[in-house]
Chain A
Amino acid sequence: MGEVIVVTSGKGGVGKTTTTANVGTGLAKLGKSVVLIDMDIGLRNLDVVMGLENRIVYNLVDVIEQKCKVNQAFIKVKGFNNFYLLPCAQTRDKTSVTPEQMKTLTDMLKKEFDYCLLDCPAGIEQGFKNAIAGADRALVVTTPEVSAVRDADRIIGLLDANEVKRYDLIVNRLRPDMVKRGEMMSAEDVLDVLSIDLIGIVPDDENIVISTNTGVPLVGSDSLAGKAFQNICLRVTGEEVPFLDLNKKQGFFSRIFGKK
């Protein structure tokens, strides 16, 4: 039996879709069977971030409305044997799907796949409820900013209230230079504020923009963000991986988290 993981944040623009694309691709590179589901009905983006926008025929709402079989809506990711995207509808809205329907779908998919990753829309309304309905665990994405951390706190409360008992935090777009100057909260500061375990720190890296431009996730590449996402994937599978030293000159992170 596989695992259904929802990638969520509350606040928009913190990197949910980028995280879903990279963690999904990273898990597939580890040989896992993976399906990504874009839950942001009406504002789909996971397809472009994955570079699959030209291959969409059917979508999630078609599957739910039984206009096609789930396999027909899958877009196979090139270069992998068992890695698919289930895109969402662009011309419908969040009320086209119910939490019960989503739970039924993910319960079925986790029998076939090692991992089913859901890219949750921003907000805490219907789209969020749909995305968490069948989730076994969550990756909560935040940036080290007050607004994103406050929203992450709210999301953690809602996950608890909705029986999603396992969740881990990804601190995205961290700038070690600013942390060093005391002008940005460190991952440790964020953890002091939120009651959650840390599963990854992704540095702010221009390579993310470049990878999104081309539609090829950078997980596993030589860039710092690529390595950080790779480590998150390993931790998702249960492996213990030390945190990256994002500031080698000063040894800042190594002092906190222990050297590699």
Chain B
Amino acid sequence: MGFLFGKRKNKSASSAKNRLQFVLYSEHQGLPPETLEKIKSEFITVITKYVDVDTENLDVKITPDGAIQANIPILEKKGRRV
């Protein structure tokens, strides 16, 4: 399946799927999208107390089984990515 998802990156189908997963998760949990955005930004605030992170390339998403998955690249002190 990897070969398929690889090809589909940035295509509209994967965008449809991500948007649906996000909206359905927030509907199921009774969490409005703003709250999820708040969780995301507070999460980043906590992490940046200890390390510098690459806020441009971080990715926080909801997986189909309802987990919050974060991929937060850490920056070196000089600003170079590890």
Residues of chain A touching chain B, judged by Cβ–Cβ distance below 8 Å, are: 145-146, 149-150, 153, 157, 178-179, 181-186, 188-189, 192-193, 256
Q: Which of B11, B20, B21, B28 has the most CB of A within 10 A?
A: B20
Residues of B within 8 A of A182 (CB): 7-9, 11-14
Contact B13 A179 (CB under 8 A): yes
Residues of A within 8 A of B82 (CB): none
Contact A192 B64 (CB under 8 A): yes
Judged by a CB distance under 8 angstroms, whether B24 is at the interface is yes
A189 and B15 alpha carbons, distance in the complex (Å): 11
A193 and B22 alpha carbons, distance in the complex (Å): 10
A168 and B64 alpha carbons, distance in the complex (Å): 18
Q: How far is the CB of A177 from chain B (nearest CB, A)?
A: 12
A183 and B14 alpha carbons, distance in the complex (Å): 8
Judged by a CB distance under 8 angstroms, whether B19 is at the interface is yes
Q: How many residues of B contact A (CB 8 A)?
A: 19
Residues of B within 8 A of A192 (CB): 17, 21, 64
Majority DSSP secondary structure for residues of A touching B: helix
Residues of A within 8 A of B13 (CB): 178-179, 182-186, 189
Q: How far is the CB of B25 from chain A (nearest CB, A)?
A: 10
Q: Which of A145, A181, A184, A185 has the most CB of B within 10 A?
A: A185
Contact A185 B16 (CB under 8 A): yes
Judged by a CB distance under 8 angstroms, whether B68 is at the interface is no
Residue of A nearest to B10 (CB): A182
Q: How far is the CB of A142 from chain B (nearest CB, A)?
A: 11
Q: How far is the CB of A50 from chain B (nearest CB, A)?
A: 33
Residue of B nearest to A256 (CB): B1
Judged by a CB distance under 8 angstroms, whether B70 is at the interface is no
Contact B12 A189 (CB under 8 A): no
A256 and B5 alpha carbons, distance in the complex (Å): 13
Judged by a CB distance under 8 angstroms, whether B23 is at the interface is yes
Contact A183 B17 (CB under 8 A): no
Contact A146 B12 (CB under 8 A): no
Residues of B within 8 A of A189 (CB): 13, 16-17
Q: Besides A188-B1, A192-B17, 12 other CB < 8 A contacts? A: A146-B20, A178-B13, A182-B13, A183-B12, A184-B12, A185-B16, A186-B13, A189-B16, A189-B17, A192-B21, A193-B17, A193-B24
Query: Can you pick out 10 interface pairs between chain A and chain B where the beta carbons lie within 8 Å of each other?
Result: A146-B16, A146-B19, A150-B20, A182-B11, A185-B13, A185-B17, A186-B13, A189-B16, A192-B64, A193-B24
A185 and B24 alpha carbons, distance in the complex (Å): 16
Contact B12 A150 (CB under 8 A): no
Q: How far is the CB of B16 from chain A (nearest CB, A)?
A: 5
Residue of A nearest to B20 (CB): A193
A142 and B20 alpha carbons, distance in the complex (Å): 14
A197 and B24 alpha carbons, distance in the complex (Å): 18
Q: How far is the CB of A152 from chain B (nearest CB, A)?
A: 10
Residue of B nearest to A194 (CB): B24
Q: How far is the CB of A190 from chain B (nearest CB, A)?
A: 8
In the complex, the 9 A-B pairs of residues with the closest C-beta atoms, listed nearest first: A182-B11, A182-B8, A189-B17, A192-B64, A193-B20, A185-B13, A182-B13, A183-B12, A146-B16
